[in-house]
Amino acid sequence: MTGLKCHTVADAIFSFIHRSSDILRSHQGSELGAETMKTVMVLLLLLVLAGWLYCAVIGDLTRSFVQALLGDLGRFISKLTWKHITSSLLCVLLALYRRRAKRRAREAEHWRQLVKRNGCDPIPSLPKKGFLGFGWLIDNMKANKMERGPMHLVESLDKEMGKSIHTCIVPIGDYQLIVTRDPENVQAILASNSADWDVGEHRTASWSPLVGHGVFTTRGEEWKVSRLLVRPQFSKDAINDLDLVERHVQELFEAIDEYMDGRPAVEAGWTNKFDLQPLFYNMTLDITTELIYGYSVHSQNPKARVKLPDLPGYPAPDRMNISSHMDAGKAWIETRGALWKYRWLLPSGEFKKHCEAVHRFADWFVQLRLMRGDAYLDGLADTGAPRKDRYVLLHELAKETQDPDELRGQTLNILLAGRDTTAALLGWIFYFLARHPRVFKKLREEILEQFGPYSPTKPSGLTDFGKLRGLYLNAVINESLRVAPVIPLNERVALRDTKLPRGGHPNPLQPIMVPKGTQVLISTYAMTRREDIWGPNVDEFRPERWIEKGGRKFGFEFIPFGGGVRQCLGRKLRTAELPSRTSTTCHWSIAD
């Protein structure tokens, strides 16, 4: 009896569905069809629930009802044709599209009223491009693959909007992001109105798998905690360890000397052709790992590696391959970043392997520090720096927290930032010097005057960062950062509906409203290509622009270290350390 009644309920449900499909086909494409589909879905769920409860009350629910339901489902499906299926799908898609269109229309009208009430202008927009509006995203991915991402952005803005428009919307699919190269807007985002902005979840989701949660990947209250933990460490004079830098610069020179074999006597003093950039990355990795963990990986000179102590349960860190794991992981992040919120489309198995290798490297040092405690520095006498009072970032951080995940995340955040940006800048400096002999000659004369000719048997003689202030060398570094910023793009997301001071249309000096959740890309590279800021010779590498007329005073049009509350913690270190490394390397390269 129970089975018969359950069959009766199931028959009634599927009879209703079948009849509804006929109604929908008759009204396909109409408003009635869209609304009817919504009603059908709700009634269907209610009928199934009612049938389930009815059978449960009169007896053994569920086996008989489910069997009846499945049997009738099979008979129902067998009667369906492709016409039934496609017409039903079209109706569902049409209903969803119309619902979304209505919602977006309501939001747009609400936004127009909000813009008007706040005395703002609309934001100019690039035209939609490509299939479903994904053209700009595809073009950006192609440009990044060719290592032309920053240039492509400037070219696109100039071509589509003109050189006088510095803030606009970039439509991508169903989303709109904003790009700005206006220093006034950048100052509002990073400094004067920073409470309305934060780094986006996209940045955190992209970088955290590799470097964990740290001062560069966290946001909100979590970032404030990280900042309070890490910031005091960068205010200590001990972090400016000139002896440490000198030792690794000497290893760089030894690595370069290996390329001098077999040169004719007439070319004495010159090397064979080779790529200098990998040696810079080796040097900065060696310096940064020693500064952070107390032990250098000695990627420049593996023979200098010391034997590490045994740590039960933890294999020795892979000092040989840590650099390649970091490079591969970063390459994956850049690809995932180009895909933006669609990064989940990219397979991540290989990326996870590199992340795990980087984590194992950092975990070993963290566990050693937690196990040894204050005696961590006792084992550093074999590293070439016997002073027990030397500065080691991990050792200092462990005095504030014993959380291994926190220590790993904070140290990896600083390791990646300290290694890559400094090495990239050194590479660009020597790239420009090789192509501008006038600048090289002037810098050479200054360094010889300050430090004398280089001798392999004595150190550079640089013992005080203060000696580097006011030198032409600083103008060379600033101009390299302007022409080739090592961080060409930054981003923030609006935490609430907020304003930016400029960028309206048709008047670009009018303020604009930015909706909550909107991502704003800050193109630091594009700001350094504005003729109205830097003059008609904007594309020329010319360090003199930084010292003429008493020296250039710059604001948010030049932010190589970011700006505002999230300004780079290592700014003080880099502004002192970079002239040191550059002058010492130049000192060697221009030996008499």
Mean pLDDT of 409-414: 94
Residue type for position 445: E
pLDDT reported for residue 561: 84
Q: What band does 503 get if pLDDT is binned at 50, 70 and 90?
A: very high
What pLDDT is attached to residue 53? 58
- Tell me the average pLDDT of the chain: 80
Q: Give the pLDDT confidence score for residue 465 in this predicted structure.
A: 61
Average pLDDT, integer, range 7-36: 51
pLDDT tens-digit readout, 270-327: 778 889 999 999 999 999 999 899 999 999 999 988 888 888 888 889 999 999 999 9
Yes or no: say if 525 and 155 are a contact pair by the CB < 8 Å rule: no
CB contact at 8 A, 336 and 343:
yes
Residues 6 or more apart in contact with residue 416 via CB below 8 angstroms: 210, 211, 326, 330
CA–CA gap between residue 84 and residue 94 (Å, rounded): 15
Among the listed ranges 25-39, 344-358, 471-485, which one has the minimum average pLDDT value? Answer: 25-39
| Span between the terminal Cα atoms of the chain, in Å | 107
| Higher per-residue pLDDT: 22 or 404 | 404
Task: List the single range of 205-209, 316-320, 504-508, 562-566 with lowest mean pLDDT.
Answer: 562-566
Give the helix/strand (H/E) hosting 185. Answer: helix 183-187
Q: Among 240-254, 338-352, 380-394, 575-589, name the most confident range.
A: 240-254
Strand order in the sheet with 175-180: 167-172, 175-180, 519-523, 489-494, 197-198
Of 204, 196, 136, 214, whose CA–CA distance to 171 is shortest? 136
The CA R_g of the chain, rounded to the nearest whole Å, is 31
**Would you tell me how many other CB atoms lie within 10 Å of the CB of residue 270?**
11
What is the band of 2 on the pLDDT scale with cuts at 50, 70, 90? very low
Candidate from 37-51, 97-111, 480-494, 498-512 with smallest mean pLDDT:
37-51
Who wins on pLDDT, 346 or 104? 104
3-state secondary structure at position 167: strand
Mean pLDDT of 321-339: 84
Mean pLDDT computed over 413-420: 88
Provide the 8-state DSSP code for 179: E
Q: What is the pLDDT of residue 73?
A: 60
What lies within 8 Å, CB to CB, of 558 at 6+ separation is: 478, 481, 482, 527, 528
Q: Give the residue, 542 or 77, on which the prediction is more confident.
A: 542
Contact (CB, 8 A) for 231 and 223: no
Helices (H), 231-348: 242-257, 277-293, 322-339
Class of domain 212-485+528-589: mainly alpha
**Quick one: tokens of 555?**
């604001």
How many residues does this entry show for the chain? 592
Predicted confidence at residue 434, as pLDDT, reads: 92
Q: Which residue has the higher pLDDT, 409 or 316?
A: 409
Query: Tokens 């008007």 sit at which residue?
Result: 116
Contact 512, 121 (CB under 8 A): yes
Share of the chain above pLDDT 90, in %: 38
Task: Give residue 33's pLDDT.
Answer: 46
With contact defined as beta carbons under 8 Å apart, do 557 and 528 qualify?
Answer: yes
- Residue 174 sits at φ, ψ, to 5 deg, of -95, 15
> Among the listed ranges 73-77, 143-147, 271-275, 412-416, which one has the minimum average pLDDT value?
73-77
Residue ranges of E strands in 385-497 = 489-494
Q: State the average pLDDT over residues 448-467.
A: 67
State residue 57's pLDDT score: 53
pLDDT tens per residue, range 224-266: 888 888 877 676 555 567 778 888 888 998 898 888 766 554 4
| pLDDT given at position 285 | 95
Question: Per-residue pLDDT tens for 181-211?
Answer: 999 999 999 999 999 999 988 888 888 899 9
Name which of 133, 46, 36, 42 is nearest 94 in CA terms: 36
Cβ within 8 Å of residue 23, ≥6 positions away: 36
Q: Is the pLDDT of residue 217 over 60?
A: yes
Rounded to an integer, the average pLDDT of 55-59 is 52
Torsion sign across C-alpha atoms 395, 400, 405, 406: negative
Q: How far is CA 468 from each of CA 9, 424, 451, rounded to the nearest angstrom?
A: 88, 21, 11
Question: What type of residue sits at position 296?
Answer: S
Q: Among residues 521, 501, 494, 512, which one has the least CA distance to residue 112?
A: 512
Residue 103: phi and psi, rounded to 5, are -65, -45
